Amino acid sequence: ERLVLQRVCSSARDEWHADTVDALGAQLRLSIVVLGASGDLAKKKTYPALFHLFKKGFLPRRLQIVGYARSKMSSPELRDRLRPFLEKESNGDGEAVEQFLNSCCYLAGDYDAPDGYERLGAALAGWEAQMCVGSSAPPPGPRLGRLFYLALPPSVYPQVCQRLREHCGTLYGKGSNGGAAASASAAAGGGANGGGGNGGEGGSRRGAAAPSALLPPEGSFVRLILEKPFGHDLQSSEVLATQIGSFWPEEQLYRIDHYLGKELVQNMLMLRFANPIFGAFFNRHYISNIQITFKEPFGTEGRGGYFDQYGIIRDVIQNHLIQVLALLTMEAPVSLHPDDIRDEKVKVLRCVAPPGPADAVVGQYSADQGQPGYLDDPTVPAGSRTPTFAAVRLLVRNERWDGVPIIIKAGKALNERLAAVRGKGADRGDQQHFVRRDELRAAWAIFTPLLAAVDAGAVPVHTYPYGSRGPSAADTLANDSGYVRT
Ligand code: NDP
């Protein structure tokens, strides 16, 4: 998550022509709004990830991070709630923790009613106005940025996207005029500082907002970051994407796939296309099959309620691992521009034939050696058939990969922690890190028929003992595809 967020911030940094972090800090006034700030993801992942960026200097000095959720909480209460999670990441640097927390404030509001968003929009605009005063940047002033991060259940995405667009989606929009707009710190009961030591700058000249007739300076931005899951199948994903797309254009949307931020995944393009020797062997003439494996050595452990609605194919394979497959098998992009990379990914995903039941083995872990089975998790509905393991054989029907089976295998409660890609040969001679809508559609199109068969009970669910390698039928599928375990 840290790396993914870093991408949003650092790609923005490139756009602002800032050569150094200091230049970045001087150039931008950035508001980050965490919607669902009272939740699990926010405290465990989102805020700690932002703290990392802050410590590394990837965030501008003039920064406010506004938490928004329905829970009634003051800004100091939010900070107290976050502090232990940040301290874990701080390497004992308590001062950095407090500096970061000084940038954080909280605003309580509903997700469906306009009132909270109106207050939020006014607070953002007021703070921006305050931060622009006294800047040496030529008119219309320094660059402004708003990042909205939805750490919320997807059921509320459409209404939140609509309200954010209406009340907070326009720089110099509603509430930004004149001196009446309250600063975020005032609206939220104190807390957002002027950005690591610059608080005094705006404070004495508050109220001199940028004139509304001016357009925001070039390089200003408003972006919306979404967490998975992006739908349940092709149809629900399309409905959600259309709803969100009616309020936010694709270029302002960042759908997080944490896997795309991982270093190995990021390096895959370099490995494939910057290395002519490696690249020359990357095709069906030299590779007979590929295994993409993701193993977790633990079960759901009390979070089965969430997992049970999705299962391993929706949770890991349809999104993260299919992205790995796309990066592994795509053709060289015209350039490293994110859209060129994503165009190539979409092209190769469209060549993947949807697998049928005969191409899949699914399983569910059972109790073994003192460890509970999936059905022993009290948050899992009794008798659930949700797969915690799946091995799926895919074929990429194009010139490069025709006839090369690719097996994606993922499971919980297995014998080890592993994320690996293996290719077998010898016998046969920056929005790039975010998922575009057409990629999402192509990925769901691959898996929706299989998921429908699994949901309908048309695919047998094998049991496998906690801590094992998974169902033996998965080995049979791999062997039948030409994979020899060495
Ligand atoms: P939570 O269930 O903790 O929800 C986050 C916040 O949303 C809650 O604090 C609550 O805030 C509000 N909320 C919860 N349920 C509802 C509801 N039915 N209607 C309206 N608001 C609600 O979720 P997480 O923080 O765990 O996850 C947030 C998103 O991130 C989800 O989409 C999840 O799938 C995804 N995700 C989570 C991961 C994790 O590790 N937790 C990992 C990867 C993705 P309040 O009541 O104060 O408004």
pLDDT tens digits, 137-170: 777 778 899 999 999 988 899 999 999 999 999 8
Looking at residue 90, the DSSP 8-state letter turns out to be: T
Q: What percent of the chain has pLDDT over 90?
A: 63
167 annotated active-site = no
Q: Rounded CA gap, 437 and 440, in Å?
A: 5
* pLDDT given at position 25: 52
The set of protein residues with a Cβ atom below 6 angstroms from ligand 1 is 36, 38-42, 45, 69-71, 111, 151-156, 227-229
Rg (CA), the chain: 24
pTM comes to 0.82
Q: Residue 482 — left, alpha, or beta (φ > 0 → left; ψ -120 to 50 → alpha)?
A: left
Place of tokens 């590929």: 290
User: Does the pLDDT value for residue 177 go beyond 60?
Assistant: no
User: Does the pLDDT value for residue 228 go beyond 60?
Assistant: yes
**Reported ipTM:** 0.96
Give me ligand 1 centre to Cα 37, in Å. Answer: 9
b/e per residue, 217-229, with b = 16+ CB within 10 A? bebbbbbbbbbbb
Q: Which atom of ligand 1 is nearest to the CA of 44?
A: 40
Question: Which tokens belong to 361?
Answer: 């083995």
User: Does the pLDDT value for residue 42 go beyond 50?
Assistant: yes
**H helix or E strand, kind and range, residue 428:** none
pLDDT tens digits, 330-389: 999 998 888 899 999 999 999 999 999 999 999 999 999 999 999 999 999 999 999 999
Question: Which CA distances in Å does 241 have to 186, 227, 250, 314?
Answer: 35, 13, 10, 17
* pLDDT given at position 260: 77
Give me ligand 1 centre to Cα 427, in Å. Answer: 49
User: Does the pLDDT value for residue 128 go beyond 80?
Assistant: yes
Choose which residue among 46, 72, 152, 320 to substitute to test ligand 1 binding: the one with the highest number of ligand atoms within 8 A of its C-beta: 152
**Candidates 52, 167, 232, 320; catalytic one:** 320
Give me ligand 1 centre to Cα 49, in Å. Answer: 17
* pLDDT given at position 170: 87
CA 257 to chain CA mean position, Å: 4
Q: Which atom of ligand 1 is nearest to the CA of 45?
A: 40
Q: Rounded CA gap, 463 and 266, in Å?
A: 35
* pLDDT given at position 214: 62
Give me ligand 1 centre to Cα 103, in Å. Answer: 23
* pLDDT given at position 175: 37
Ranges 161-165, 170-174, 285-289, 452-456: which has the least confidence: 170-174
pLDDT tens digits, 53-66: 999 888 988 999 99
Ranges 179-183, 404-408, 452-456: which has the least confidence: 179-183
